[in-house]
Amino acid sequence: MEHKVKSNINTNANTIIEIKGLGKTYSGGQVALNDINLDIKEGEILALLGPNGAGKTTLISAVCGLINPTSGSVKVAGFDIRKDYRRTRELIGLVPQELTLGAFELVVNTVNLSRGLFGKKPDEQYIDSILEKLTLSDKKNAMVQQLSGGMKRRVLIAKALSHQPRILFLDEPTAGVDVELRKDMWALVEELRRDGVTIILTTHYIEEAEEIADRVGVINNGQLLLLEDKNTLMQKMGNKQLLIELKDPVSAIPESLANYRLGLSADGTKLSYEYDIKSERTGITGLLGDLNKAGLPFKDLVTSQSSLEDIFVELVGAQP
Amino acid sequence: MNIEAVKALYFSEMRRTRNTLMQSIASPVISTALYFVVFGSAIGSRIQSVDGVPYGLFIVPGLMMLSLLTQSISNASFGIFFPKFTGTIYEIMSAPISHFEIILGYVGAAATKSLIIGSIILITAAFFVELRIAHPFWMIAFFLLTCISFSLFGFIIGLWADNFEKLQLIPLLVITPLVFLGGSFYSVSMLPEFWQKVSLMNPVLYLISGFRWSFFEVSDVSVTTSLTMVVLFLVVCLAIVWWMFKTGYKIKP
Q: Report the range out of A223-232, B101-110, B176-185 with the highest average pLDDT.
A: B101-110
Across the interface, of A66, A105, A116, the residue whose CB is closest to B252 is A66
Report the pLDDT value the prediction gives residue A295, as an integer from 0 to 100. Answer: 84
| Closest residue on chain A to B2 (Cα) | A119
pLDDT digits (tens, 9 = 90+) for A64-87: 999 989 999 999 999 999 999 999
pLDDT tens-digit profile of B35-94?
Answer: 888 877 777 777 777 778 888 888 888 888 888 898 899 889 988 998 888 888 899 999
Model confidence over B13-29: pLDDT tens digits?
998 888 777 777 788 78
For B252, residues 6+ apart whose C-beta sits below 8 A from its C-beta are: A66, A67, A68, B93
Reported as half-sphere exposure (CB side, CA atoms, 13 A), residue B3 has a value of 2
Q: Are B100 and B65 in contact (CB under 8 A)?
A: no
- Strand blocks (E) in A210-297: 215-220, 223-229, 239-246, 262-264, 270-276
Give A143's strand partners.
A106
Q: What pLDDT, on the 0 to 100 scale, is given for residue A12?
A: 42
Question: For chain B, what percent of residues have pLDDT higher than 70?
Answer: 100
CA atoms within 13 A on the CB side of A51: 9
Please name the residue of chain B whose CA is at the shortest distance from the CA of residue A65: B94
Residue B240: the pLDDT is: 93
Q: Could you write out the DSSP letters of every residue in A174-200?
A: TTT--HHHHHHHHHHHHHHHHTT-EEE
User: A75: which DSSP letter?
Assistant: E
Instruction: Check residue A122 and give its pLDDT.
Output: 92
In degrees, to the nearest 5, what angle opens at C-alpha B93 toward C-alphas B91 and B98?
125
d(CA A167, nearest CA chain B) in Å: 13
Q: Looking at residues B107-130, what average pLDDT do you find? A: 90
Whether pLDDT at B231 is above 60: yes
Kindly determine whether residue A117 and residue B88, on different chains, have CB atoms separated by under 8 Å. Answer: no
pLDDT score recorded for residue A207: 73
For residue A154, pLDDT beyond 50: yes
A117 with B5: Cβ contact below 8 A: yes
Rounded distance between C-alpha atoms, residue A264 and residue A77, angstroms: 54
Q: Residue A249 burial by CB count (10 A; 0-12/13-18/19+): exposed, middle or buried?
A: exposed
Query: Is the Cβ of A159 closer than 8 Å to some Cβ of chain B?
Result: yes
A94 CA to chain B: closest CA distance, Å?
8
Model confidence at A4, pLDDT cuts 50, 70, 90, reads very low
- What was the pLDDT predicted at B103? 92
Per-residue pLDDT averaged across A135-164, rounded?
91
CB contact under 8 Å between B248 and A68, yes or no, is yes
- A166 and chain B in contact, CB less than 8 A: no
CA distance B213 to B200: 16
Q: How does residue A183 score in pLDDT terms, banded at 50, 70 and 90?
A: confident
Look at residue B198 and tell me whether its pLDDT is greater than 90: no
What percentage of chain A reaches a pLDDT higher than 90?
40
**Mean pLDDT over residues A48-54, rounded?**
84
Which of B245, B60, B64, B65 minimizes the C-alpha distance to B155? B245
Evaluate if residue A120 carries a pLDDT over 60. Answer: yes
Q: CB contact, 8 Å: A64 with chain B?
A: yes
**Could you give the maximum distance between any two Cα atoms of chain B, in Å?**
60
Q: Which of B88, B97, B98 sits opposite A100 (nearest CB)?
A: B88
For residues A105-118, give the mean pLDDT. Answer: 93
Burial class (CB in 10 A: 0-12, 13-18, 19+), B193: exposed
Nearest CA in chain A to B102: A117
CB contact under 8 A, A113 and B19: no
pLDDT band for A117, please (50, 70, 90 cuts). Answer: very high
Above 50 in pLDDT, residue A6?
Answer: no
Provide the whole-model pTM: 0.81
Residue A5 is predicted with a pLDDT of 40
Say whether residue A120 is in contact with chain B using an 8 A CB cutoff. yes
| Spatial CA neighbour of A199 closest among A175, A230, A227, A171 | A171
* pLDDT per position as a tens digit, B35-51: 888 877 777 777 777 77
pLDDT, tens digit (0-9, with 9 covering 90-100), for A236-273: 666 778 888 988 888 888 888 888 888 888 888 888 88
What integer pLDDT is reported at residue A13 of this predicted model? 46
Residues 6+ apart with CB under 8 A from B17: B24, B75, B109, B113
Chain B touched by A152 (CB under 8 Å): no
What is the average pLDDT value for chain A, to the nearest integer?
85
| Cβ pair A113:B9 closer than 8 A | yes
Interface check for A113 against chain B (CB to CB < 8 A): the answer is yes
Average pLDDT over residues B178-200: 84
Q: What is the pLDDT of residue A143?
A: 92
* Strand boundaries in B21-108, DSSP class E: 49-50, 53-54
Regarding predicted confidence, which is higher, A54 or A207? A54
Provide Rg for chain B, Cα atoms: 19
- In this prediction the ipTM stands at 0.84
Q: For residue A21, give every residue at least 6 positions away whose Cβ sits within 8 Å of its Cβ, in sequence order, or none.
A: A35, A36, A37, A71, A72, A73
Q: Residue A140, SS3?
A: coil
Q: Cβ B82–A92 below 8 Å, yes or no?
A: no
Mean pLDDT of the region A12-16:
72
Share of chain B above pLDDT 90, in %: 33
Question: Which residues, 6+ apart, have CB-to-CB distance to A69 below 8 Å?
Answer: A22, A23, A24, A33, A62
- What is the reported pLDDT for A318? 66
Best CA proximity match to B117, nearest among B75, B71, B152:
B71
Q: Is the pLDDT of residue A217 over 50?
A: yes
Mean pLDDT for all residues in chain B: 87
Q: What is the band of A232 on the pLDDT scale with cuts at 50, 70, 90? A: confident
Phi and psi at residue A72, to the nearest 5°: 85, 180
What's the average model confidence in pLDDT over A127-133?
92
Decide if A251 touches B, using CB distance below 8 A: no
| Percent of chain A at pLDDT exceeding 70 | 90
- Quick one: average pLDDT of A180-194? 87
Task: Pick from A30, A67, A101, A117 the residue to mutate for testing the B interface (most B CBs within 10 Å).
Answer: A117
- Residue A220 pLDDT: 86
Q: Confidence class of residue A54 from pLDDT cuts 50, 70 and 90? A: confident
The minimum CA-CA distance between B31 and chain A, rounded to whole Å, is: 27
